[in-house]
Structure 1
Amino acid sequence: MALLATQTCIEIRQEIGWTEKRTIETSFEMKLFDDQLTVKNDHYPLTAIFDISYRKKPGKDTMGFLYLHTNRGVRTYYIKDDAYTLVTAYKKLKSERPELR
């Protein structure tokens, strides 16, 4: 199981205290292996993934979206960094392995 690419994703959560509302951002890694993609505690076999795409406006701290198209529906993740490396690695892997097409 070789690690091919990683993507940092952001989880946004809001907490309401007695006098304030706080927005808390935590990050986690999406990891692409040669047989699966892992996101936190979820594991997606590559045969269950139809496509990976993203949309992000240029800029250092702008928030974007990464879309994971699976047989369980589309999962959306927040990203701050460009996901080009992850998407390119997935598309290359998909083109090299006929059972993923």
Structure 2
Amino acid sequence: MAWIASQEYYRVQRDISEGQQRCSVSERRIDLYHDRITTHRREFRLGHVFDISYRRIGGGIGMLYLHTSIGVFPYTVNTDPTLFIARFKSMPGEQTSE
């Protein structure tokens, strides 16, 4: 099944080894389907996602938040997620927007 909308996000991992800090960045995607939202490690049924919000931090970076029945999940983004959020909010279903 093809996704309806997709949003890139990234994860920064820092490791300290032999007294040196190493930083790695992994680019990933959040995909919106007719019945679910998937990320690199998680899958949320749309009925369990209450809202998606965005807060800009600065320098073109922001945090995308998935508000779900099991908690709020933050994702770091460096592109504007307005279209992704609008597509989610236009989906028929049990999710609500507040």
Secondary structure of 2:51 counterpart: strand
Match of 2:25 in 1: 25
Deviations 1:52-90 (A, max 9, x none): 01112564xx32100000000101111111111110100
Over the aligned positions, Cα root-mean-square deviation in angstroms equals: 1.7
Q: TM-score normalised to the size of structure 1?
A: 0.84
Query: Which runs of 5 or more residues in structure 1 are unaligned?
Result: none
Query: Which runs of 5 or more residues in structure 2 are unaligned?
Result: none
1:98 to 1:44, Cα distance in 2 relative to 1, 3 A: closer
Percent of pairs with identical residues: 30
Superposed, 1:6-21 pairs within 5 Å as 6-21=6-21
Specify the code of the residue in structure 2 equivalent to 1:80.
N
Larger helix proportion of the pair: 1
Whether 1:86 aligns to 2:87 is no
Match of 1:69 in 2: 67
How many residue pairs were aligned? Answer: 96
Q: TM-score normalised to the size of structure 2?
A: 0.87
1:14 to 1:58, Cα distance in 2 relative to 1, 3 A: closer
**2:63–2:75 CA contact under 8 A, matched in 1:** yes
